Every structure is written in C-alpha cells, then in structure tokens.
Structure 1
Amino acid sequence: MRDQLEDALNNQQFGFGQAQHINQTELPKRFYSSVDVARTDQGFTVTLDGRPVRTPGRKLPVFVPALPIAQAMATEWAAQDKHIDPTTMPMVRLINSAVESGEENIPAFRAEIGKFAANDLLLYRADAPQELVDDQERHWDGALVLLARQFDVAFQPTIGIIHQPQPAATLTKLDAALEGQGLFSLTALVSITGLTGSGLLALALLHKLMTPDEVWTAAHVDEDHQIRLWGEDEEAMERRAKRRVEFDTAIAVVEALRT
C-alpha cells in the first residue's frame, strides 16, 4: 500500500513506467489510429480503435465518473505522434495511478493529506529576513483564517522548524472535510498536496476557499523569495513549469468531480 501511495504522491509511475527515465528510442510506438470516448455502465472510457484503454501495469480497465476527465485523456492519446510519450500525458498518468491504486487505498490517501496538514508548510514560519516574514504572513495567514472559519478549527503556527503539534480536534475536523471524496478526487488531492507541500492548501482548493493561482502563489512564497534574491535558474523554472502542468491536471479532476 505504501509503495502505491508514494507513486501517487510523487507522480512517478502513472503511465508507461517511470516517464522521466524513458528516452526517445525506448518509447512505445503509437499502435492505434482512432481515439474516442465511450459511455458504459461503469462510467466513461477512452477507446483506441474501438478498444477500451487499460492501465500499463496491472492491465486494469480504465473507467472515470466524469466526461471532462475522459475527454482530457482522449485529447492526450490523440496528440501522440509516432511514439507514445507519457510525459505529455499528465491526465492519463494521474488516472492510471488512481485505477492501479484501487479503492482500498482511499483511507491511506486521506491519511497522507492529513499528515501534511498536521505538519503543514503554512504553519512553519521564518523569523528573518523581514521581507520573507511579510510574504509568508500575507499569503499564509489569510489561508489559515479561511480554513479556520470554514471548519471551526484553530491552528498553532510556529517560528522555525521544531515540530509544533496541532490540536487533535483540528486534525479530526480537517479529516472530516475529506469525507465523501472518492478514489479519483483523493488521488488528485494527494498530487496537489505533494506538489504544493501543503495539505491545508489542498483542502482550501477542494472547498473553493482559494483559487488555483492563489494556492500556487502561496506554495511558492519561499521559492519566489529566493528568486528575487538570486535570480531565476533556468532548470528550476522548467521543473516548476512541469509541476504546474501536473497541478492544473489534478485541479481539473477535482473540478470535474465537483460538478
């Protein structure tokens, strides 16, 4: 179970193995001509030349509960050229991860989000320089206030990195805020949690307390401070852009299932 959870959290093995290690000569060739979306009793699925897609690992059939998710997957399948490059298929990878994890991992996914929330990015503050302190207060205090009001909880932020336990009642109520979320939504929320380093920001997104851009900005306060000091690093910015694609994909899943 833990291995599957880490796969979901790290976005490492949603497609055809570990996508970041596949070079062009190892990519599987495109083996289909047509891509469609079909509605079945189990939900929506993508078909390749009329055959429903399956996950690459356990060869499980892929059915999703919302049409926009299936359409996004179909778009990624249709966009493949001579070879199938999983790095260009974030929705397919995310959904494959959920399907291969299985419903039995729902409690573990909830626990993972709760673990981040209990030791959250937003709760550990810098004491200097003042510019960073001000940025953290501006972007993080508002998020905590919104969450505190929404769920009737209290937080105990701290300065530094020494562990500061949060009230047990707060953690219980935050876990209850995930009640009713299914496998696909929780897989997306685990991805958002890992990408932002914050279970609290994932909950704020789920309950529409913050916009995606507000969450993304809050998650990068420290990084943006370093950029202002030392300038942009091209490789780091490229990695950040790729993470944003994964982030937006996970948000699209949450939004599709919310409606």
Structure 2
Amino acid sequence: MPEEGSGAGAGGAVADRLAAVLRPVRAGNGFEEALEQILQVVRLGLVPAGGRLPAERELAERLGISRVTLREVLRVLHDQGLVEARRGRYGGTFVLPRPDTGGEDELRRRVAEVDIEDVLRYREVLEVGAAGLCAAHGLAGERAERLRAALARTHDAPLAEYRRVDTLLHLTLAELSGSPSLAGQYAAVRASVNGLLDCIPLLVRNLEHSQQQHTALVTAVLDGDADGARAVMREHCAGTAALLRGFLA
C-alpha cells in the first residue's frame, strides 16, 4: 500500500526526503527537537495528506528518542489536528488534510511581519549573556531572593498564567545582570518572542521541561557557575526556538 505516487520507486523517494529532515536529536531538548522535525515533515508535505508516517519504531530510531517521547510528540500533532492514528492491518499514523482557513491566513500574516531567525538569535545572545553576568558577578541577599521568588511563581502558576510569569522570570534575570541597556533590549525582544509564542499551543510536556531548565539555571546562577548558567540558558533558548521553527517556519 504505497504512501505516495505509484511504482516501486515512490517509497524510496519518500524515504530519501525523510532522511534529509529526520536526524538524531540532542539529549537536552529531545521532545522539542523531535516535534520540530516531524512538524517539518508534515508542513513541507514530505508525507502528503492521507499518507502514513513511518512506523513508531523507525521514527524513534531515526530521531534517537524513546518511543514514549515519540508518542508524546505524536499526541501533540493529533491534538493540533495534523495527524490521526488508525488501527488494524493497515493502521499507523496518517497525515490529515490541512483546511485553508481565515485563521491560518492571519497566522501567516503575523509571522510574515517578523524575522523569526533574527529574533531567536538576538534573544539567545541577550539571555545567555544575562545569565553569565548574573552568575559571574554573584547574586546575594535581596537580589538572590528576587530570582528565587520569580522562579517560585513559575512553579505555582496555572496554565493560563504560565507565559506571563515565565516572561517575568526571564526579565528579572536580565534586570539583575547589572546592565540597564541589556535589560531594555531584552524587554523589546521578549515582546517579539511572546508574539510568536502566542501563535503556537501551550504544550504541557514542554512546560515541564522548561521548569526543569529554569530550576537548573537559577541554581547555576546562585552557585556562581557562569559557564553552567550560560550552557543551561543556551539549551533553554534552543528548545523554544525548535518549537517556534517547527510550528511557524
């Protein structure tokens, strides 16, 4: 039962195109990067509407992730109406047609107004720099308590409030860096990032992962581990970037 076209070569052509997109992910952001890659497969039409994605075992092996993580990725795609699971002899995960709606047109218009790569790279430079400065110069007393309190608010936040308190945590770190210029520039770029984040769904798995990274980040900063703080922040930014590229690029 060929997925695309006809003839013996069709399946091989699909496999070649998938090999160009699907590759082992990095351990730090496995869920986010796997989601980015499979979204690329779907949005680029490498598997057309009505076509079947590779079997779970093959996908997990290509991406270098567990089948548990893969199923969480596929669940997100299902919830977004991009794929459906079918049972039986010819079952699997199938790509659904994407309706051309006014909402999709509006999304494309909003995204077209922003240079996504520029925003993401500038954000990473500012965030990594702020984390390194805070750790290198040291936070103590009231300044350390401000950062701890900002982290605590993210742990207690309901889903609808999460992005707001997440933003406040990152802004707090920028403000504590000791550079008003950096903090001001970060506030501006974060507004652009939030505009992009508003275009994609809140994913519980991603938020749980973000919380783990937030905790590791604050720990590194308060321990004075500048290299560690920069590494965690760089990984954290990469996870967000993977989701945005996957959904919006």
The reply to whether TM is greater than 0.5 is: no
TM-score, structure 1 length as denominator?
Answer: 0.31
TM-score relative to the length of structure 2: 0.32
Q: Return the structure number with greater relative CO, CA threshold 8 A, min gap 6.
A: 2
